[in-house]
Structure 1
Amino acid sequence: MEIQGFWSSVSLGDLVGQLPFLLIIVALFRRQLQPLRALVCVAALIGLLHALAYSHDAVMAVWWGLLLASCLLLLARRVYESNRTHFTPDEEAMLTGLLSGLSRPRARHLLDQGFWLSGREGDVLTREEEAVSHLFYLASGEAKVMSRGRHVGTCRAGDVIGEVTVLTGDQASATVILAGPARFWCAPATVLRPYLSAHDDVRRALEQGFTTSLRSKLRASNERIVEAGGLPA
């Protein structure tokens, strides 16, 4: 009876007044900063409207208003930073592929840890059974993947090279050689490892990009095997 009496005394307005706190709790479990701020912003707006129109609590209205203003300011600053962050056409391609899990400012910060180079036919990017010194993103051109002297695969524009071992320091499982003129971004492992250790959000997004790249390579490899008539008996 007491429980029934309690719920009968709770109005819809009272429930709406508690909704902002629920949204803030949900926001705490968001990994990405922008969705977190957006949820807090919605919570503050609901709290402000409730304080003004229902509870008529001036003190709560001030606090909810300050929280809303702070969230809007942070969201506006992120939009401003995104709009003023510039990328080359090759970097824009990385944003839609490898770095799709990052905001534009965070992607710019990561890209600045490496540099762009133009390569020639025969340039070696990784050597079999040697530690991978750089992470490579191939923007244009192709590279041959060699294992024990045999041509076992091809890397094409949009592929990542060295993603399996660059963060662990393990030896490369194959030698990768440019098949012709190419343009690529590379980041030294000695710079990339401590950088990703200090920026967990970038590390998670980059690892997600690595997974997508590996799936793409496996799919392309399977297609080449099918075109060649399957695996030899």
Structure 2
Amino acid sequence: MDLSFITDGWAGHLSYLLLVLSMLMRRMLWLRLLVIASALAGIAFDYFWLNNPVGVFWQTLLVLVNVAELLILWRNDRRATFTPEEEHFRSGLLHGLSPGQARRLFDRGRWEDLAPGTVLTRQGACPEFLTYLASGDVSVEVGGRAIRTVSGGHFIGEMSLMGDDAASATTVVSTPARAWRIERPKLLRLRETNHAAMAVVEAGIARDMRAKLMYQNAGDGQT
């Protein structure tokens, strides 16, 4: 192997390596920092090795755009404020989101006070909302028979909304509850337009599903 392929253009290799690494980042801050680092290495390669002013111009523009985006992220994070229930939700299941990202996600949905008897999902039908239950209790029913109760701090309807399946159970509010709800179309748009934020939401849903399964298995072991 000709080592000059590596040694003579190490800045070019570094630029592309950093760009590839940036695509693996889930947090927008690290993604943009790595893109900036990639562009800086690319500027060095274009200027000192290739003597390519066109490349220098476009790599410099890439740096400026990402610096501007970082400033916008910083401004949004500084302006973001949360109620106590939003902060509990964010720290428990959405702790990978920056304050600004979390604020935008909460604003896509809405907080509601739910009365007993409110149906959140119906067995055999696709849920209209993804619901985060902040407080209160929800009865889970299959075939008209109550099989368990879900209390505050958990998602409702997440398994169906993350795929295209109908709900496997009917969930009904059994005590006065407080919940954050986001409509299915808005969640699907988030998946298409903001992969990093949606990845955090999906990771939170996965953690919540594991917690509910562990609780259910522990309850089954006690009977």
Fold shared by both chains (TM-score > 0.5): yes
**Cα distance between partner residues in 2 of 1:191 and 1:73:** 27
Larger radius of gyration: 1
Matches within 5 A, 1:70-149: 71-149=66-144
> Unmatched 5+ residue regions in structure 1?
229-233
Q: Give unmatched runs, 5+ long, in structure 2.
A: none
- 2:22–2:35 Cα contact (<8 Å) kept: no
Equivalent residue, structure 1, for 2:166: 171
Q: How does 1:54-73 map to 2 (within 5 A)?
A: 71-73=66-68
Matched length:
219
Number of the residue aligned with 1:182: 177
Contact 2:136 2:177 in 1 (8 A): yes
Equivalent residues in 2 for 1:176-215, closer than 5 Å: 176-215=171-210
Contact 1:27 1:37 in 2 (8 A): no
Structure 1 residue 97: Cα displacement: 2.9
Alignment of 1:217 onto 2:204: no
Secondary structure, aligned partner of 1:109: helix
- Per-residue CA deviation, residues 176-200 of structure 1 (Å, 9 max, x unaligned), is 1222111001122244334433433
Equivalent position of 2:24 in the other structure: 30
Aligned CA distance change for structure 1 residues 47 and 129 (closer, same or farther; 3 Å)? closer
TM-score (norm 2): 0.76
Q: 1:127 to 1:40 in 2, by over 3 A?
A: closer
What displacement does 1:159 show? Answer: 0.5
Letter in 2 for 1:176: T
Deviates more, 1:213-222 or 1:164-173: 164-173
Q: Distance in 2 between matches of 1:104 and 1:113?
A: 14
Question: 1:231 is matched with which residue?
Answer: none
- TM (norm. structure 1) is 0.74
Structure 1 residues 42 and 112, CA, compared in 2 at 3 Å: closer, same or farther?
same
Q: Give the corresponding residue for 1:154.
A: 149
C-alpha root-mean-square deviation of aligned residues, in Å? 3.5
Offset of 1:75 from its aligned partner?
Answer: 2.4
Q: Percent identity?
A: 31
